[in-house]
Amino acid sequence: MAATAIKIIEKNIKYLKSCLDITESHITWGTKSIKDKYSKVKERLHLKLKEQYIDKRYYESLIE
């Protein structure tokens, strides 16, 4: 079960990183209001990424 969870978490991390890339482009090329909006989105994405990395470490420790 832990191996399956790790695979899912890795896919989640990959997805969140791609969302972060898109968010960065909005921040770079957007207007002031768009920059403000996507700065908040960026913060949330970073929090979700941290959660996924913590979950991944936890499940990897179960396997070892």
Residue 19: its H or E element: helix 2-29
pLDDT band at 1 (very low <50, low <70, confident <90, very high): confident
pTM of the model: 0.89
Which pLDDT belongs to residue 58? Answer: 95
Contact 8, 58 (CB under 8 A): no
Q: How far apart are CA 41 and CA 18, in angstroms?
A: 13
**Which tens digits make up the pLDDT trace of 15-55?**
999 999 999 999 999 999 999 999 999 999 999 999 999 99
Please name which of 27, 26, 9, 19 lies closest in space to residue 44, comparing C-alpha atoms.
19
Residue 1 three-state SS? coil
Host domain of residue 44: 2-63
**Tally of domains in the chain:** 1
